[in-house]
Chain A
Amino acid sequence: MDVTLSKVQMDIAKEARRFLDKECPTDYARDMYEDERGFTEEIWAKMVDMDWMRVRIPELYGGMGMDQMDLTMVLEEMGRVVLPGPFFSTVLLAAEAIMDAGSDTQKERYLTRIAAGEIRGTMALHEPDGGADLGYIQMEASVHGDGFVLDGTKLFVPDAHVADILICAARTEAGNDPARGITLFLVDLNADGVSASLLPTMDGTRKLCAVEFKGVRVGPEGVLGEPHKGWWPLRRVLQRAQVGLCAESVGGAQRAMEIATEYAKIRIQFDQPIGAFQAIKHRCAQMYVEVESSRSISYWAAWAQDHGDPKDAALAASAAKAYCSEAFTRVSSGAIQVLGGTGFAWENDAHLYVKRAKANEQALGDPAYHREQVVQLLTG
């Protein structure tokens, strides 16, 4: 047993901190908040040069073949600056899905280009009536010749408006059980009948879209993995993405805590720094408790994806997702309270963290959904 970071992991974190502080401080998040695309090509190219697209992609396809835990180092730092843009959707959703379920041809065709930063991707999962239930997939894909035709609406698809490809989960056999009849499709966003429109969301740094599919034809080359059995790879991919959100949340909560404590040291009221008052001090101390405990379970969840058994990997992902996302919400909201009126103002960064926290809490299964998963795994 050794739950400490390796030298390589610490170096990855240090490099990421250095790059992001210089190239993407929260000013970048603020600029992109108002920008429809939500990122600049210049920053994207620099992130490609940092090798971040390649961390998890196998060497065979131009990647570095590293673990989830290595990627965790980068994601924590990205959360710290509320990094906007399609990194998460491309690397943690599209690339992971292709890595898990794709054929050699699909991997060769797409992973190499993602690794090189040439294309961006995302995943379409949620449907209008499903709420936070990730297993509620009713959109129909009907057989057409040797392929399928997709019809329906997907919601909350991150960065679909700037993506080239999209992984779509749809039902190819009738029923309600996600374990049966779900197929994953690899869809070109330029294909006829696909249209993505930006939703006016609370967190402007993470763009979400509605994607309409109207008679979208997908050939056999666009079927990702085994037909009707898409739920199993999808679950593994979602677990990694959930764990990725945990890392982001830990980094974001850490920074929100720092903003609050730095202010508590310099803000004078009643002739002393407000951090001397226990009402403020204890709030800050509790932030530290939540940040460090979140980090511990986030590490476990990341480690379990590569080294735990499948049940542990699923349990860890759900437990960490529920815990870290709620902790991020509490810590960032607490930061506003410590900052007082200052924290309520647009010009202070606190709101960026609160908004990202809420976005992360609702993305890929809300805390209630994940707690239910935990009980099922513990008692099933």
Chain B
Amino acid sequence: MRALKQCIVLILLSLGLVTSASAILPIEKLETYKGAKAYLVQTKALPMVDIEVSIDAGDRYDPAGKSGLADMTAGLMNYGVRGDKGLLSEAQIADEIADLGANIGLTVGGERAILRIRTLSRKDLRDRAVQLAATMLTAPTYDANIVAREKQRTITGLLEAETKPEYVLDRRFKKMVYGSYPLGDAPSAKSVATITTADLRQFHKQFYRGDRMIVSIVGDVDAAQANEIVQALLKKIPQSGPTIAQLPDFQRSSVEPLAQREVQIPFDAQQAHIAMGMTAVARNNPDYFPLLVGNYVLGGGGFVSRLMSEVREKRGLAYSVFSYFAPGKETGIFQAGLQTKSNQGALAFEVLSNTIAQFIADGPTVSELGAAKANLINGYPLRIDNNRKLLDNVSSIAWNELPLDTMETWTKQVEAVTLEQVTVAFQKYLAMDRMRIVVLGAQNK
């Protein structure tokens, strides 16, 4: 009878009908393989697993004049590979992914390229999805015809993007904020046109190696199975390679006269678009939490931020207005922005600028600080309540080399933030005479 009960409990557990207490799930460190660190969070309720490989091969490694190379190196990995049993065409790869009911996607950001796999956790399906992803990661063919086709598609997409206000604004803003740091250069029709098959193979060979990778896994696998996944993914990846030239230092935006750091772009559209910001902090900066809490008050807190109140609620000037810090491992910027009817550009800019300046000067009020902390702390469970979000967290912790107990200490770190810390941190990292400003399409009557 007792054995039967245990059996029933086991079955219920396996079906996710009984769950343990809602404690934060621990991150397990897996065996390092080929120089790649690997991490696991076990969640057993659903028969699925999410796997991510982060590769230190982001846009910032684009060689001068070849912006777009990092993007294309990752983006073409599923368009033809050389596997154990010979070549697999892009069509075969796509069919196999579909047949497995899996998703395999590639994205590239400023710092890292990311390969993500979502598969059912059944061993046979999972193994095949992992095997396919491993081949993509290890041996993309970069077939010349496909490279030519995808270059043309990318160029067509860029020419289209260049007609859009938000793209023109963002490209110019990034150029001004990053300056000579490589992230200042966005891909253009010209830079993409210069990319060759040899460039792609070279970039892949240089950067796609174990010592530049991190694997994060969330889902229905145990540690032994997760170690198997890591090893299958990286089995044929070289552990290391030649030294890669150091990137220039990521520098604080300099103090400049307004004329040197503000640009007006004429643009015939219904709305003016405005961006304002500067370089800021990396994720592991000790002032990360004061800045997070402070920015919630300034422009991060959805409908209740100061920017939302001043620009939208009080004056009806914009639908969207925001500010954020985007901290990475070694880079990070602060950005604020809005869009408004073109003849209100000057007015909206003034409100945006004054609100930010005042916040840097005076910091939040006591009640604003309390409200920000209450929201962040009470809302923390919403940041980790499914596999996808857990994967985002594990991956960020691993990439930014944060302590493995970050999810457990997060709310305590928010709680500990003081009014003075916020004010000091904002004054330390932000300054109005350093802000880069782009105003596009404002028609001043």
Question: Bound pair: A and B?
Answer: no
Interface residues of B (CB under 8 A from A): none
